Structure 1
Amino acid sequence: MAPKALFNLLLIFLVITGGSSVQYFYYLNQCPYTVWLAASPGIGDLMPERPPYTLYIFPTPDQWNGSIWARTKCSTDASLHFSCETGDCGSGTIDCQSPPPKYPVTLLNFDIDQSVVSYEVSLNHGYNDVPVRIEPIGGTLEGRSDKCPTVDCIQDLSNVCPSTLVAKNKDGWAVGCFSPCDAFKDPQFCCTGNFSGQACQPNEYSKRFKELCGLAHTYPADKTPEIYRCKDAATYNITFCP
């Protein structure tokens, strides 16, 4: 059976077998390349290497607050030092669950509290060329009857990434797009100092990113869309290259 056909069967399986009171993340790698998962702080026994067109089912802790991301182009050198082209955390090993990543990287932020989970796609530290989506299956927004919405960033931001923000690998090829905060260290873009709180406003870069990824947060004070709080979802489908 072709990899994509097998993947589609697994996707159907996860949808019809939901309903457990335990929170499950379904990591779906639809990319034609391997990604290596990482989390900060550590989320438990997270199996990092996810080959193309595979499904990985992960029961989450009852409580956890942090970020998950995908590392790309990872390898081990002759001295057994493990590193990645994007999202590397500097551990030197395939297990990377606590150190923050090397930017730029697209972050999937979660706050898990039993059956209530808040979630967002964040470009506050840039984008590392991996389209992502978070899709709750079932559940309603806390205190409301609305269905828990999907959030994602599936467009190629390299199309609108200014030359001053382009991240390149050692061979000079573009591999992502920095956030202006990380690139320039300017309080205006980092929403610090005199630019904190209500003074933090969209900027020329965040507006470009928002045009392509309207469901992602593109600067530190971005509140559109809201950070959703979903209650009693059966699963959360976290898809790379949806």
Structure 2
Amino acid sequence: MDHHHQTLSLLIPFLLTLHLSFSGVISTTFTFVNKCEYTVWPGILSNAGVPPLPTTGFVLQTGETSTIAAPASWGGRFWGRTLCSEDTTGKFSCVTGDCGSGKVECSGAGAAPPATLAEFTLDGSGGLDFFDVSLVDGYNVPMMVAPQGGSGEKCTTTGCIGDLNGACPSELRVMSVDGKEGVACKSACEAFNSPEYCCSGAYGTPDTCKPSSYSELFKNACPRAYSYAYDDKTSTFTCANAVDYTITFCSSPPTSQKATQGQDTKQESSSNDNSSSASPQLNNSNNKDNTMVYEGGYDQSEISKAMCTHVLQSQTIIASIIIAIWRLCQLF
């Protein structure tokens, strides 16, 4: 009887996944890629009233890729946590992007700013997916979002892969525990709590809340990312029928400029390592057309690899279901 129960416990999730796939409930996947020279712990927060994703937080080592299937009409946000560790009591925490759960899973908690955010609403108005990368809550790690298989004039790569930690003004900078380097960059709203910077009170409309010198610093480095609350026109993107969104932390540094120091994955800040190859290449705020290619972004072979991985994973699930059913039949 125990063996029967064990087999059924394995079979039911497979059957559920198959049912959701064929019924169209699972519509899109998110593929996470860590190209940083340090470990990143992605955090996930689903919007209220939508089915959650199967995880709310996990670890992603340098060079690792992880794919998550999303239900139709899912909405929420992703971010990367850095400099994470457990204390002697087993409590998990991160220097940047911490969600305060005390565990790797964020379990419904959001990121403590400053944190770079990727925000999604799948199957929204007009059946389109809406997405953006936001620096409204500050910046902690480079992030790029690349839609795969979608269509539309605004269906294009967005993100922020410049080194804003290295370029961060001292009044916004979050320092490492040892005080030697900047590990995150606050928004002006968080740093000064002023209605002018927070787009609140008398500044609570698009007409009254304008870019500041601080938000313009973010915008110049990352022209497609949200730099303040009403930065919609150049920062919101839409896709029809995208099969996957690839979320990449950091970018591949050029071979000739790849840092030779700081290779230890426990060294979580790359502000010094990548400063020579990140921000200057992205200082193209005048180039906001949909053909802009991000330096260090995906090439075609990487996109094809991500697509093949998605197909192979689907085939693997179906094959696993068939094997599980066959094994179950042998018990009766």
Instruction: Please state which band the TM-score falls in when normalised by the shorter chain.
Output: 0.7 to 0.9
The match for 1:75 is 85
Residues 1-242 of structure 1 aligned to structure 2 (within 5 Å): 22-41=27-46, 43-46=52-55, 48-113=58-123, 116-128=128-140, 130-141=141-152, 146=153, 148-172=155-179, 173-197=181-205, 198-242=207-251
What does the per-residue CA deviation read over 1:56-106, in whole Å, with 9 as the maximum and x for residues that have no partner? 111012122221100011111110100011110111111114212111110
What is the count of residue pairs matched by the alignment? 218
* Greater share of helix: 2
* Offset at residue 37 of structure 1 (A): 1.0
Q: Hey, what's the Cα distance between the residues in 1 that align with 2:107 and 2:238?
A: 24
8 Å CA contact retained: 2:34, 2:248 = yes
Alignment partner of 1:22: what SS? Answer: strand
* Offset at residue 147 of structure 1 (A): 6.0
What does the per-residue CA deviation read over 1:165-211, in whole Å, with 9 as the maximum and x for residues that have no partner? 00123322321100000111100000001111111100010111111
Q: Hey, what's the Cα distance between the residues in 1 that align with 2:157 and 2:137?
A: 21
Q: Hey, what's the Cα distance between the residues in 1 that align with 2:230 and 2:102?
A: 33
Alignment partner of 1:118: what SS? Answer: strand
Shift in alpha-carbon separation, 1:224–1:156, aligned structure 2, 3 A: farther
Q: Hey, what's the Cα distance between the residues in 1 that align with 2:121 and 2:203?
A: 26
8 Å CA contact retained: 2:46, 2:53 = no
Q: Hey, what's the Cα distance between the residues in 2 that align with 1:116 and 1:23?
A: 12
* Offset at residue 159 of structure 1 (A): 3.7
* Offset at residue 241 of structure 1 (A): 1.0
Shift in alpha-carbon separation, 1:101–1:228, aligned structure 2, 3 A: same
Q: Hey, what's the Cα distance between the residues in 2 that align with 1:80 and 1:160?
A: 35
Shift in alpha-carbon separation, 1:235–1:113, aligned structure 2, 3 A: same
Identity of aligned residues (%): 38
Alignment partner of 1:164: what SS? Answer: coil
8 Å CA contact retained: 2:166, 2:182 = no
Q: Hey, what's the Cα distance between the residues in 1 that align with 2:154 and 2:97?
A: 32
Partner amino acid for 1:132?
M
* Greater share of strand: 1
The match for 2:297 is none
8 Å CA contact retained: 2:149, 2:243 = yes
Alignment partner of 1:23: what SS? Answer: strand
Shift in alpha-carbon separation, 1:196–1:169, aligned structure 2, 3 A: same
Alignment partner of 1:206: what SS? Answer: helix
Q: Could you tell which deviates more after superposition, 226-235 or 67-76?
A: 226-235
8 Å CA contact retained: 2:226, 2:235 = no
Q: Hey, what's the Cα distance between the residues in 2 that align with 1:97 and 1:133?
A: 24
Q: Hey, what's the Cα distance between the residues in 2 that align with 1:99 and 1:207?
A: 29
TM-score, L = length of structure 1: 0.85
8 Å CA contact retained: 1:118, 1:230 = yes
Alignment partner of 2:111: what SS? Answer: coil
Q: Could you tell which deviates more after superposition, 150-159 or 197-206?
A: 150-159
Gaps of 5+ in 2: 1-23, 252-332
Partner amino acid for 1:169?
S
The match for 1:9 is none
